[in-house]
Homo-oligomer: A and B are copies of this chain.
């Protein structure tokens, strides 16, 4: 691969040189002399870990703004589902390219996806240089006649995934406890356990979902999954908004990872009283995501961080909730840990996934508190340069192929409407 030397970057307030060799941070020091293939003069720009977006539906960038100010069922039945029937591989490819472009521009280097036509998505993301977890999604709507086909398709994609580069990890997506039969939930879980794969599931996103679970199974969605024997450290539960004390205890016991998706939760009015403190105190690894662009319009992790903190402070009536250092953790290293990838930290031996942040602008003036400025004052246009896996994916706001991606999406989205 190669080497990059970053001169005079600010790391946690201190000026440092940073040497990257191949895909990892090799050395971080006061003055590094090295003939690198590429040298970047950071010149006072701050360095931060790449964000880890833990819950996305990448290609849904194609549906950005397709249904606004609508009730959930109206939105799904009249906007999303009819459109998804028309999706083809070319659309998913360009939708994923657009998602990658947007994530790079906003400082995300790793994401945990859940969507269809994964082969096209992996191709797009591989070209972009980002790291991703890509699932086979199980969603049978309780129709057991589809089981054999789903199993066959899942196995096929799993076999194909062995040819993916090491930037991409195959996972099992189980859409949710309410949309997948218990037979296929168990099958997917076993498939994952036997092969050491992660499981990505929507859990307790809405009060309706909880009520249905109590009606049908007599227990909460979390307890239902426990009963099915599905919970474990490989499970990543998105949303997890409507949790009881007992649910939290169980998620902690099984070391399930949780993804908070505040902007989507607010916009669709799913709820907002995400129990961050209780989950954290129980020892659950809490991470952050944006959800897809159909429901929450962008993939901007800085915005997700800001809203997460503001709403947590507000609903608890406690302005000390979700303080800045924890906010950075849920957006970076907690995600890396959840995915078992050494990303989310600027440290020797870790993957060189990071951004350089331009602070020479009004949003960082004065720069009394860098994290406060980054999260509460600035927007993602401060992200100047992004490196993923030791490869520069954006330099000085320029991402190769940007206009081609925009043109192709503009050509294709009309076929969806």
Contact = CB atoms under 8 A, between A and B. Distances in A.
A101 interface: yes
Contacts of A323: 68-69
B368 A69 contact: no
A265 interface: yes
Given A68-B323, A319-B72, A376-B65, A410 B310 contact: no
Contacts of A311: 266, 272, 311, 314
A163 interface: no
Most B CB contacts (10 A, CB to CB) among A366, A369, A406, A409 go to A366
A263 interface: yes
B68 A369 contact: yes
B72 A297 contact: no
A377 interface: yes
A68 B378 CA distance: 15
A314 B266 contact: yes
A101 B362 contact: yes
Interface string A52-92: 00000000011011101111100100000000000000000
A255 interface: no
A368 B314 contact: no
Contact of A267 (B313, B361, B410): B313
Nearest to A105: B362
Copies in the complex: 2
SS of A interface (majority) = helix
B377 A379 contact: no
B376 A379 contact: no
Most B CB contacts (10 A, CB to CB) among A62, A303, A365 go to A365
A376 B292 CA distance: 13
A385 interface: no
Nearest to A319: B269
A318 B307 CA distance: 18
Contacts of A113: none
A43 B266 CA distance: 35
A372 interface: yes
Interface in A377-417: 377-381, 402, 405-406, 409-410, 413, 417
A66 B365 CA distance: 11
A330 to B, nearest CB: 14
A414 to B, nearest CB: 8
Interface of A: 61-62, 64-66, 68-72, 75, 98, 101-102, 105, 263, 265-269, 271-272, 293, 296-298, 300, 303, 306-307, 309-311, 313-321, 323-324, 360-363, 365-369, 371-373, 376-381, 402, 405-406, 409-410, 413, 417
Closest 7 CB pairs of A and B: A65-B369, A379-B379, A381-B381, A297-B376, A65-B372, A266-B310, A366-B413
Given A65-B368, A361-B406, 15 more contacts: A65-B372, A65-B376, A65-B377, A68-B323, A69-B323, A72-B319, A266-B310, A267-B314, A269-B317, A271-B317, A272-B315, A298-B376, A300-B379, A366-B413, A381-B381
26 contacts: A64-B365, A64-B368, A64-B372, A65-B368, A66-B368, A68-B324, A69-B324, A98-B362, A101-B362, A263-B310, A265-B314, A266-B313, A267-B376, A268-B313, A269-B314, A271-B314, A296-B376, A298-B363, A298-B378, A300-B379, A307-B310, A311-B314, A361-B406, A362-B402, A362-B406, A381-B381
